[in-house]
Every structure is written in structure tokens, then in C-alpha cells.
Structure 1
Amino acid sequence: MLKLEYLHNNEELASMLLGNWEFDPESLHLFQYYRISSNAVYPFENAGENQLLRFAPAAEKRKDNVRAELEFIAYLRECGYGVLEAVASNTGEKLVEADTPWGAYYASVFKRVGGVQLGSTELSDHILYKYGEALGQLHQLSSEYTPVEAARWSHKDVLEWMLSVLAEFPWEEAAVAEARLLIEYFSGQPVTTKNYGLTHYDFELDNVFYDEGTDTISAIDFDDAMYHWYAADIEQALDSLRILRSAAEQSEHEPEWLITLRSRLAGACAAKASRFSGPIR
């Protein structure tokens, strides 16, 4: 999740970044359906085809992680796995670095996948089987994958990043202790090509699509992908940290929705923190 200061609709910025790609000018009204979380995503059309502009402040991302994500997605497509297809910019790049009046940004464009989000289906036995099968296929392909130019970060990198962020919040002693406990715990776990590799790390219903016509599954949003055990289960702890960092900075004259969101996020953090120091299962 981005810092709250970046969660504002900025169609001027989106238009500036989109200028690096071909697009249908009359489709920019679709910008009203934007969403912002760990990235800003703005829909548009190119030659009548639905596509998505994704961008984020360079200060919020690691360039090697973004490049590695695009490389892994390309690998999965080459293997016939259903994922988003990145679209080359006017200069042939799939990752554009742009200096804007709002700072430096990384931007990419993707074609939409077919089908509907699993969360919008009835989740029949067949669809659930396909869902599980797709995750198994992803892990199998991951176990055979060797990065060429860049590698995603690992669970170790994430835990070290957590400690670096928490250094700015000295009162979060329980969270620091929990991160160090996880570092120690995971250091003693076996790592093999069968149980550890590049995971999606957010393979949830809203990031997986089912196409009834082709009876296929496609996955989107590999932004959280990392090297981890395939059975990775520290999502909630990581989410809590993102919430803490995102909500830390406040500005004057915040809109009511932002004040309400900040309060809800603080409550979520408190609930998660109450489980610190519990047994690791």
C-alpha cells in the first residue's frame, strides 16, 4: 500500500504518463474508474482494446523489483500461463521512468486478461479446482525459473525492510520484536526447490480471473511477488507494516474520507499487534 499522500486521484499525472504509449484520446473518460493501493491503475483503450496504465512513485518502489516482475510475467506467458501482457511504450520499453511535476514515477501498461474475477463468480467446485490447479502450476513454473536480468526480493529482504521502516517508529517495540522473531524462525526452516521459490504472494480472489469460454484461469497483480516458501503465511504481518508506514504522515485540511480511513487503518493495526509474541504455527 502506498503512503496515504499518494492515494489521490490525479488524472493530469495519469495523462502525462500515458503519453508514453499509444491510446485512444476519446477513452480517457474511463479514468474515472481508477483505483489506487500499492499502485495507481487507470483504465483506457488503445485501438478499442481495454488496457491498464499502472504507475507509482519511484520513491515507493525498488526498480529491480519492478523489472523482475515484468521479466517473470513474460516468462509465465512464454510458458502458456495466464497472466497480464505488458505493452511496450512508444520507445519500446515496458517500464518507463518519468520525471513529472509530482516527482519521479515508474509506469507500465498492460492488456486486460479475459474472464471475470473469481470473487464475482459462484465459485463452483470446478472453478475452485481450476483455482487450486493454477496456483500449483504457478509454483511448478516458479521452481523451474531462473531470473535473467533482475531478481525479486526474498522474505529475508522483506523482513530487513520491515526493520528499516520500524526504525522510524521507535515506540513500535512489539513489532520490532516480532520481525526479529520471524527472522530467527525462518532462518531455521529448510529451503528446497520444491518448497521455496518465487511466489505471487497475493493470489486472492480479486487477483484471479476465470474465463468460462476458454475454461482458463489468469492471474494479475504480481506486485507483491517475492521469494518465499510456497506456503507463505506472513501476509497479515506485512500488511500491518504497510498500513503503519502509509498512514504515518498527515497533512493539513485532509478530506473526511481520509480521516475516516486513517482511523480504520489504526484500528486494524491495533488488532494485528495484539497477536504479537504469540506462538508461530
Structure 2
Amino acid sequence: MAIIGKRNQLTVLKSAPPGFYLDGGPHGELLLPGALIPEGAKVGDTLDVFLYRDSEDRLVTTTEIPHAQVGEFAYLRVVSVAPRIGVFLDWGLSKDLLLPIREIKQEGVQQGDWLVVYVYLDAKTDRIVASMRVKRHLSTTLPAYAEGQQVNLLVTGETPLGYNAIVENAHFGLLYHNDISTPLGIGLRIDGFVRAVRDDGKIDLSLDRAGHQRIDVNTEVVFDALKKAGGRLPFHDDSTPEEIRAAFGLSKKAFKQAIGSLFKERRIMITKHGIRIADTQPKSVSK
């Protein structure tokens, strides 16, 4: 069954001057305009298409890929403002996405602004729209994440404590300032790790794995990077957090812990010019 606001795998039923007509099940035959037909596609093929309503309220399909589907959160740019109606957002399709005025959370939204929104199907109009009231669309069920579990994050805002983030497109979490070595951008999508799930359902997050597991994993990340670089890398205590994050995907704190552990194991040497693999590696003991 073809679902509005989602990518669907639909079969081409016939070809006509306007384009292909696809099997939409209960929705009937759905047009894929000729300009959007993939090269080499033919009747009988199954195509990956997105289903939505055009400006004349007709259900149509497109091979364009939106930045977000129904049921997802996204960080989108305002392309135009329509007084008394709302604003329109660029979501990757030729037809812009409406953020109705009732769903705008802040005053003074202007063209060019970037907003964190939730994309949903309006029950009254059956049209895809956006909402800035993201908290009402988060899951109310208690998260079942395990400590140290890797999760996908969307950074939504900064607070005195740290950065708010949406976890796995479903729950609310917080990255604390004292665990972050460099500022984060709103709208950033990044992988993080669960530190704890609180009784209120909110999630404490980190950009690094917790405890000894984190240190063990990070030491191998650094050591593997050293081996791939021929045994030497120009990173040390004075390297910037941005340089370290770009090179290893680690915070500066995690990097320092990792090289400290590697040094204690006599696997690397730390110099003013960087780090290098030690000339003599500790030998493994055979049993």
C-alpha cells in the first residue's frame, strides 16, 4: 500500500504523455511526471518514489528525495514567508513544505532562518506540513536504551546545562557542556552514546562511550589511525578539539585518555611533535 509522506516501492502500470502511472493500491493510479522518470525505467519496473499532494491537491509521486519524511524531525531553511498562512521550508522537493502559522513557536521568523521541525500528515487536510512544537511529537514511552548504546542524535538547541538533542527520532536527551570539548551546531546530526536513562524518561548523552569500554575502544581508534599513517601523527595535548574530532571522531578529553592509556601500555611515544608507535611493542604471552 502506498503511504502518503513516505518513500514507497511502486510498480509502473503504464506509460502516457504526462509520464508513468504507478500502482498506488487504494489510491489508484499515481502519476510520476515524465521529467522525473529514471533513465531506462519501463512498464513493469518497481520504482522508489515519494508520495505527496501537489499544489492542486492531487496525489503525485516523485523520485526526488525529501530531507525528511512524515514522522521525522529535521532542520530546514525558510524560503518564503506568507503572512496569515505561515512559512514555507526547503525540504528537498520542488514543492516547498508549509509550516502553518499555528505551528510556529517563535516570533519574527524570516526568510533564510533555519528551524528544527517535525514533519507530519495533517488529519484535517491530508496534507504534509511541519511543526516547530517538536516536544509534543516525541515519544511518551519510557526509553529502553542500554548504557553505552550508540544512538543517532539531532541537536535542537543550547541550554545553560548543555545541548538538547532528539534521540533516534523519538526521545529527548541532553549532552552536558562539561562532556563536550567544542561547541555544537543546532541542526547537527551526529552519533552519540547513552550515559543513563532517567526516571522522567529523559536521556543523559555523551559523544564518547562510557567508562573503561570507551577508553578501550578509543585506544584502538587512535592506534589504528597511527598504523594507517605509517606510525606517526602530528596530534598532541596542544592540538585543537576541532582537529582531533576531524582526525579521530573523538573529543579532546577522550583522545587524551586514549593516548595516556596507549603510553602506559608502551604502545606509543608522546612527543612535542605528536604521537608515534613505540619502537618496542610489549610482547604477548602465549599460553
TM-score (norm 1): 0.23
Structure with bigger gyration radius: 2
Of Structure 1 and Structure 2, the greater strand share is in 2
Q: Which has the higher contact order (CA 8 A, sep 6+)?
A: 1
